[in-house]
Structure 1
C-alpha cells in the first residue's frame, strides 16, 4: 500500500501537507458533485455564492483588510474565480459529472505544460510523457462511449474553458499566499466573487426564482461551505512552497469525482470514465514531478 501511494504522491511534501491536500481533494469532488446533483443548478450555484458572501463578510469583519500589495492578486483571483464558476455551471448544465469534471480538472495542468512547450521551454522526458498521458486520458473521456453526441462538444468545450481558468487562478493564488496571510486572502477573494452568481440568477429569472426547497437550500449552502473548506486547505498547503506538487496531488479529486459520478450519480460508462480519470491523474503527477 505504501509503495502504491508513493507512486502517485509527488516528492517534496511532508505528511501533513499530503493529508491536507488529500482532504481538500475529497471535499472538492464532493461539493462539485453536490452542485451537479442539485436539480436547479442555477439556484444551486447562486446559493453557493450566498454562502461565500455571508461567510466572507463575517470573516472580513474579524480579519480586516488585506495588505495593499495583495489587492491586485485578490482582485485578479476573484475575477478568474467568477469566470470559473460561470463556466463550471455551464459544464454541469451540458454534460455528465463523471465526464466534464475530470476534463475540467485535467485541462489545467495540461494547458500549463503545453504552453511551456510552445514557448520553447525545455521539458524533461517525464513531463513530456505526462503531457501525452494526460492527452490520452482527456481524449478517452471526450470519446467516452463511442462517437460523441450533439451535446458532447459544448459540454467538453465549457469544461476545457473551466480548466483554463483553474490554471489561471492557481498561479495567481500560489503567488499571493507566499506573502499574504491565507485567511485574509481567501476571505476577500471569496467575498468579492460571492455575489456574482446570485446576481446572475436574479438577472436570468427575476421573481421566477421563487423560494428553494429545504433540500436545495441545504445542498447549495452546504456546498458553499464545503467549497470554502476545500480551497482554504489548498491555500494552506500551498504555503509549503511546493506549489507544483500540491497541484498534482490535489488532482486526485479527478478520480474521486469519476467514482462519485459512476457509483452515486448512476452515470453511464462509469468504469471507463474512472479508468480515464486515473490515466489523467497519472499524467498530471508525471508533469509535476
Structure 2
C-alpha cells in the first residue's frame, strides 16, 4: 500500500501538471483499459448479482474523475489533493461499518482520525487566506465518491469471489465510460490531443492501473477504513513531488501535518 501511495501521488502529479485534466484522465484510463482487457479472457464473467455493483461503482468512479478535473482547474496540487483525500478514511470507515459491518478497533479508529486530521491540516496552509467555494465543492464531491466506491468495491470483490476479475471488469467499464464522456465534452479534438500527450498518458496510465490493482487487492483482504487510511500516504508523497518538482515550499506546518499522518499509519499497522 505504501508503494501504491507513491504511484497514486505520481499519477496525480502528472495529471495536475497537464493543461487539460479531462484529456489527461481520459488517456490515462485508455491505457488502464488496455492493460485490464488483457486479463479478461482469463477471469470468469461477472455473476448476475455483481452487475448492479459494477454499474454503481462505475458511476462513482466517473463522478470522482469529473470532480477531480474540476478541482485541479481551481487549485494547486498541495491544496486540492489533500482536500480531496483528507476525509476519505473517516467516510470509508463510517460507510464500511454501516454497509459491511466492519468494526475497527479503538486504536485503529484513532489512527484513521490522525491520518485524516493530518491531511486536512496540510491543506489549511494554502486555503486559509480565502475560501474557494468551487474548489471545496469539487474536493468534497471527490472525497465522498472515493469513500463510497471504496466500500462498494470491497463488497464487489467479496461478492465476485475473485478480486482480480472484479478489478479487470471494473477498470474496463469505468474507463470506457469516462472516455465516452470525455469525447462528448471535448469533441473530435480529444483524439489528436491524446496522441500529442502520449508519453505523459502512458506514464500516468501505468502508474494509475498499478496503484488501483494494489488497492483492490488490499480491499479484498482487509477492512475498508484501514486500507483507505494507509492509501492516503499518497498525500505525503504528493508533498515531496510538490516540493521537488513544482518547487512548492515545505513549511513547518506541512511537516507537522505529515508527522500526524505517519503516526496514524503506525497506529493502524501495529494495533489490530
Q: What secondary structure does 1:178 align onto?
A: helix
* Range with greater deviation from structure 2 (88-97 or 247-256): 247-256
What CA distance in whole angstroms lies between the structure 2 residues aligned with 1:104 and 1:202? Answer: 25
The corresponding residue for 1:108 is 88
The corresponding residue for 2:118 is 137
Using the TM superposition, give the Cα deviation of residue 286 of structure 1 relative to its aligned residue in structure 2, in angstroms: 5.2
The corresponding residue for 1:45 is 25
Deviations 1:29-66 (A, max 9, x none): 11111111222222111101222333333432443412
The corresponding residue for 1:11 is none
* Range with greater deviation from structure 2 (86-95 or 170-179): 170-179
In the alignment, is the contact (CA less than 8 A) between 1:237 and 1:246 conserved in 2? yes
What CA distance in whole angstroms lies between the structure 2 residues aligned with 1:65 and 1:246? Answer: 27
Q: What secondary structure does 1:177 align onto?
A: helix
The corresponding residue for 1:202 is 183
Aligned pair partner of 1:149 in 127, 130, 135:
130
What CA distance in whole angstroms lies between the structure 1 residues aligned with 2:223 and 2:117? Answer: 27
- State TM-score, norm by structure 2: 0.81
Q: How does 1:229-248 map to 2 (within 5 A)?
A: 229-248=210-229
- State TM-score, norm by structure 1: 0.77
In the alignment, is the contact (CA less than 8 A) between 1:258 and 1:274 conserved in 2? no
Using the TM superposition, give the Cα deviation of residue 86 of structure 1 relative to its aligned residue in structure 2, in angstroms: 1.1
The corresponding residue for 2:100 is none
The corresponding residue for 1:90 is 70
1:116–1:170 Cα change, 3 Å: closer
Q: Aligned Cα RMSD in Å?
A: 3.2
What CA distance in whole angstroms lies between the structure 1 residues aligned with 2:111 and 2:164? Answer: 33
Q: How does 1:61-80 map to 2 (within 5 A)?
A: 61-80=41-60
What CA distance in whole angstroms lies between the structure 2 residues aligned with 1:115 and 1:52? Answer: 27
